[in-house]
């Protein structure tokens, strides 16, 4: 049994040495991002002078975007028909019931 223990110890030592050599062979640690990448802190403080319309996706200036946002807040949201609202309610109810009772398969 002593020979098996010695063989196991030698095998373990050789394996750990090989793993150490292979693991560190061609690895290069890059702690910093590439210099051409703009840091997130700078991007967060950037002032946008152009935006896209949430309605149709067209490019707008900052003034046009602010005006459109004001118009969207003033105008009431379009009313849905009662049939559509009832269908949405039933779909939401079905979703909740399937989460509570997945075996129902409604």
Whole-prediction pTM value? 0.33
The radius of gyration of the chain from alpha carbons, rounded to an integer in Å, stands at 32
Residue 90: how many CA atoms within 13 Å on its side-chain side? 7
Task: Please tell me the predicted confidence (pLDDT) of residue 94.
Answer: 92
Residue among 25, 21, 1, 2 nearest 13 (CA)? 21
Residue 78 banded pLDDT, cuts 50, 70, 90: confident
Per-residue pLDDT at 54 exceeds 70:
yes
Delimit the domains of the chain by residue range. 32-100
Predicted pLDDT at 30: 64
Q: How far apart are CA 50 and CA 47, in angstroms?
A: 9
List pLDDT tens digits, range 87-97: 999 999 999 99
């Amino acid at each position: 049994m002593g020979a098996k223990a010695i063989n196991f110890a030698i095998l373990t030592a050789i394996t750990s040495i090989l793993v150490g050599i292979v693991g560190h062979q061609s690895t290069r640690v890059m702690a910093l991002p590439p210099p051409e990448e703009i840091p997130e802190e700078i991007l967060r403080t950037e002032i946008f002078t152009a935006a896209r319309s949430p309605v149709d996706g067209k490019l707008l200036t900052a003034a046009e975007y602010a005006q459109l946002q004001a118009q969207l807040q003033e105008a009431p949201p379009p009313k849905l028909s009662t049939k559509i609202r009832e269908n949405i309610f039933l779909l939401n109810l079905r979703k909740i019931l399937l989460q509570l009772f997945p075996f129902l398969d409604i």
